[in-house]
Structure formats: C-alpha cells, structure tokens
Structure 1
C-alpha cells in the first residue's frame, strides 16, 4: 500500500461525506463552491466520486484540474456526462473539454477564487500568473465547461 495515496483517499472520503451532509454552497460569480463529482470509470464502468470546486465565471460553469492525467478528467474525456452533488442537490451536466483562451481565463479565475494554499500549490502556475503563462501550462491541466444535457434536464 502507498501511505500517501491512502491519506488522499481518506481525506477525499471525509470531504465527500461533509459536502453531501451540508446544504449546498451558493454559486457566486468568480467563486468556487464545493461539490461531489460523480463520473463513470472509463475502464471499470463503475461510478466514481471525488470532491471538486465548481467555478462560476463569465456566466459559465467549469471544472478545473491541475493535472489532466488524474482519473476524473480522463473519465470525463471518455464519457462526457457527470453528476455534481451537494447536500440533497444533484445536477447532471454534459462536459466539454476546453484548452483555449477560455480555459486559461477559467484557470485564472479558479486560482483567484481558491482560498486553500494546498489547492493552488497543485497547479503548474500561480495565482496572478498572466494568461500567456497559463496558456503555456494548459497541456498539463484540464478544464471542462459544463452545460445541461441534451435532454433539457439541468
């Protein structure tokens, strides 16, 4: 067993329990709210949960990940639907991976909205980085724009 991986799994499990137990935090412009992301495993086909920060920016909702090789971005690239949950709220979304100027602006907004230093430290760029610096680091990161699924449900 990997002690660091075990610690991450335990921390994520505790965060998921807390997010699902508390009423959902309000989404505000240029702010993040904690949610539980449910994806379908690209290899296993089983549901997977992870805590994420949902970003509201320029009238859009985004998921931002500092490492595009993590499981949840890979799962979303394979199956672009997800469920975001908090408290008793469950909302389904379609996801679109983006890596252009819109993605760089979303990363800048996410870093600015993130109050936790350990979250910011995971990114290959720092809060206050220029859009050009963020764009240069985009191949390492993953950004997904969220939209309601085609069937019209949120």
Structure 2
C-alpha cells in the first residue's frame, strides 16, 4: 500500500485572504494524515501557518479541515523518518528535516 496520494487543497492567502487551490501530496504515517513536500519554501505552507483552516479535496469530495504545522524537531524526525524512506525519489532524510514543511491534517469542528 502506498503511503502517499495526490490531492488538491484550497488554502487562503496569508495576505490577501483569497482562496488558492493547488495539487499536492498527502501522506499517511502513524495512523494520521500529513502534508509535506520536498525541501524548499512553499506558499501553501505559509498560507496554512497564517490561516490553518483549509479545504482538502479528495476523491471528488471536499472536507473542511485544520492544519497543525509540525515544528517540534522530535516529532518532525519521527514522522518524516516514516515518510521519506518509503519514497524512492525523496533524497536524504536530513534534507527533508532541514527544509521541508510538515503539517498534520486535523478535523475541523464547525463553528470553531
């Protein structure tokens, strides 16, 4: 079973507040879902830090969810240590730890 899936997300611009829909990869690790990407700066990550509520589009359905940016070094090492070795194209774990965004996809309770 693959640990990743191509999905689309709609974030809201950190300055403009306008919706931005992009394609990205969702990963499954530790029984939870995550967004990440190869090392580098990502606008979607900056948008989620500023506005954590976003929409996950998967299998023709839209799910309102909340992002939890993962900045704790131990948690990042654990989760990326699960994801990266399973990707034959990913490169080194160290480069992902140093420069990749990592966000847990959480459930959003309406009205909060």
TM-score by structure 1 length? 0.61
Structure with greater helix percent: 1
Query: How far did 1:139 drift?
Result: 4.7
Query: How far did 1:145 drift?
Result: 1.0
SS state of the match for residue 69, structure 2?
A: strand
CA–CA separation in structure 2 for the residues paired with 1:113 and 1:90: 27
Unmatched runs of 5 consecutive residues or more in structure 1: 1-27
CA–CA separation in structure 2 for the residues paired with 1:66 and 1:79: 22
Deviations 1:36-85 (A, max 9, x none): 01101112211111111111111111111334632100000000011111
Please list, as runs of the form range in 1=range in 2, the aligned pairs for 1:69-84 lying within 5 A after superposition: 69-84=41-56
Deviations 1:71-120 (A, max 9, x none): 100000000011111342111211111122222222223223335x3xx2
On the 8 A contact 1:62/1:144 being kept in 2, the answer is yes
CA RMSD of aligned residues (A): 2.4
Runs of 4+ aligned residues of structure 1 deviating over 6 Å after TM superposition are none
Is structure 2 residue 57 aligned with structure 1 residue 85? yes
SS state of the match for residue 8, structure 2?
A: strand
> Larger Rg: 1 or 2?
1
CA gap of 1:44–1:93, structure 2 versus 1, over 3 A, is: same
CA–CA separation in structure 2 for the residues paired with 1:32 and 1:68: 19
Is structure 2 residue 18 aligned with structure 1 residue 46? yes
SS state of the match for residue 151, structure 1?
A: coil
Unmatched runs of 5 consecutive residues or more in structure 2: none
SS state of the match for residue 73, structure 1?
A: helix
Please list, as runs of the form range in 1=range in 2, the aligned pairs for 1:1-150 lying within 5 A after superposition: 31-67=3-39, 69-100=41-72, 101-115=74-88, 117=89, 120=90, 126=92, 129=93, 133=94, 138-150=97-109
TM-score by structure 2 length? 0.81
